[in-house]
Amino acid sequence: MDLRSHYLGLELKNPLVPSASPLSRDLDTARQLEDYGASAIVMYSLFEEALHSEHEHQMRLLSQQEHGHSEASNYLPLGSLEGSELDNYLEHIRRLKSSLEIPVIASLNGISLDGWVDNGKLLAEAGADALELNVYNVAADPMVSGAEMEAQYIALLRELHQVVDIPITVKLSPYFSSLGHFVKQLEAAGAKGVSLFNRFYQPDIDVDSLRVSPTLHLSRSDDVLLGMRWLGILHGRVDLSLAATGGIHTDEDAVKMILAGADITHVCSVLLRHGPRHLRRILNGISHWLDDSPYESLDQARGVLSHRQMDNPAAYERASYVELLSGYSPNRSSWR
Ligand SMILES: Cc1cc2nc3c(=O)[nH]c(=O)nc-3n(C[C@H](O)[C@H](O)[C@H](O)COP(=O)(O)O)c2cc1C
């Protein structure tokens, strides 16, 4: 079966790419992912916060060495600046690149411009085949407009694009008021792809301890629908690689995303839950589906149910919402 897929200028043997997660931290697990069929891998993110706090720590160490007693400086050798988060990340890229045949996509996670984007260049030099930029930000300040947030992301991408010579893709949240327009701006600023959608982790309230705490729930298959709609709307309208992330647990989920227009399908929660072997199961399912379908390759099937290709594109728009809500009738037999 011809499952070849193209993503960010890379030719991949199939569309299944594990997205950023702790699974890429361990070399053996990464090898297993490759053995079970992953066609590329996105690394866990290098977080801006980690680099910033490390920088502050280094500055503190240096100033203690400059101003402290000679005795104290013996306890704080410069050697303790080595093995930084960034160094470890660069080293891990090199290790993954030398152990795996598949492309390795590095991931930067941050939103500010103060210099940390230069590290993107180092990731490329360490051998990453592409770079995913995750702009996870919660617009919690009511004085900041959507336009300002968008401008900040575009500025960040532009700066990165200037220093990095590998393809950059942007992992987006679903909370943009005109997603297509924003994606067009990303394209103009140098993005080669977008990944839809970043999963936001919601805080929860414990009503007994009266505390707010973050929660992490793995996704479910139903979660694919949000990304699927937008992939369907964007397919054929932008000249960008489209990655689907969020809720892909089965071959059926992956096929839906491809029919809507995804170039590749990311998997994360399902692998955290069932392990790397599960990749093979999804891959076999996609092959069987293709075998039974009227298509000879995945490329032929890609986007056939996108907004542009459909006889009834209203299914992606408001019309279906109105029909659904007004046509819904509750199951009265289950009422008590
Ligand atoms: C435990 C865990 C760790 C993750 N780490 C990262 C990360 O470092 N960077 C990132 O961009 N996304 C990260 N993600 C998000 C996933 O890559 C993925 O986009 C998201 O979970 C939706 O896909 P899924 O439904 O297949 O899980 C993480 C997700 C989980 C559950």
Q: Which atom of ligand 1 is nearest to the CA of 45?
A: 8
Chain CA centroid to CA 232, Å: 18
Average pLDDT over residues 213-222: 90
Q: Both tokens of residue 283?
A: 């891959």
Residue position matching structure tokens 């690394």: 43
Structure tokens at 263: 């170039």
Tokens, residue 21: 């997660």
Q: Give 275 Cα–ligand 1 centroid separation in angstroms.
A: 15
The Å distance, Cα 138 to ligand 1 centre, comes to: 16
**141-158 residue pLDDT tens:** 999 999 999 999 999 999
Q: Whose CA is nearest to atom 30 of ligand 1?
A: 21
Using alpha carbons, list the distances in angstroms from residue 183 to 112, 195, 213, 294. 19, 10, 32, 32
Cβ contact 28:285 at 8 Å: no
- Ligand 1 pocket: which residues have CB below 6 Å? 19-22, 44-45, 107, 109, 134, 171, 199, 218-219, 223, 245-248, 267-269, 272
The per-residue pLDDT of the chain, averaged, comes to 89
Q: Which of 131, 199, 248, 272 to mutate to test the pocket of ligand 1 (most atoms within 8 A of CB)?
A: 199
Residue 233 has pLDDT above 60, yes or no: yes
Contacts of 335 (CB under 8 A, 6+ apart): none
Q: What is the pLDDT of residue 70?
A: 47
Extract the tokens encoding 76.
């704080």
Ligand 1 center from residue 201 Cα (angstroms):
10
- Cβ–Cβ contacts within 10 Å for residue 251, how many? 20
Alpha carbons within 13 angstroms on the beta-carbon side of residue 77 total 3
Q: Give me ligand 1 centre to Cα 78, in Å.
A: 35
For the chain, what is the radius of gyration of the CA atoms?
Answer: 22
Going from the Cα of 73 to the center of ligand 1, the distance in angstroms, rounded, reads: 41
pTM: 0.90
Rounded to the nearest angstrom, the distance between the alpha carbon of 21 and the centre of ligand 1 is 5
Cα–Cα distances in angstroms (integers) from residue 181 to residues 150, 176, 235, 237, 241, in the given order: 10, 9, 13, 11, 16
Return the ligand 1 atom nearest residue 19 CA: 17
pLDDT tens for residues 23-63?
A: 999 999 999 999 999 999 999 999 887 776 666 666 666 66
Residue 308, class by beta-carbon neighbours within 10 Å (0-12 exposed, 13-18 middle, 19+ buried)?
middle
Among the residues of the chain, which ranges form H helices?
Answer: 27-35, 48-67, 70-75, 85-99, 118-125, 146-163, 179-188, 224-234, 251-260, 269-274, 278-292, 298-301, 318-327
Q: Hey, which CATH number is domain 5-311, 1.10.540.10, 3.40.50.720, 3.20.20.70, 3.30.360.10?
A: 3.20.20.70
Return all residues near 268 (Cβ < 8 A) that are at least 6 apart.
18, 19, 20, 21, 23, 219, 245
If you take atom 4 of ligand 1, which residue's CA is the nearest one? 21
- Is the predicted pLDDT of residue 335 greater than 90, yes or no? yes
Q: Which residues are bridge partners to 107 per DSSP? A: 45, 132
Task: Give the per-residue pLDDT at 324.
Answer: 83
Q: What is the pLDDT of residues 89-146, one digit of tens each?
A: 999 999 999 999 999 999 999 877 766 777 888 999 999 999 999 988 888 899 999 9
Whether the Cβ atoms of residue 223 and residue 196 lie closer than 8 Å to each other: no
Query: Of all protein residues, whose CA lies closest to atom 13 belonging to ligand 1?
Result: 20
Residues 23 and 43: their CA atoms lie apart, in Å, by 8
- Ligand 1 centroid to 20 CA: how many Å? 5
**pLDDT band with cut points at 50, 70 and 90 for residue 314:** confident
Query: Per mean pLDDT, which range of 70-74, 93-97, 189-193, 263-267 is the poorest?
Result: 70-74
Domain boundaries, the chain: 5-311
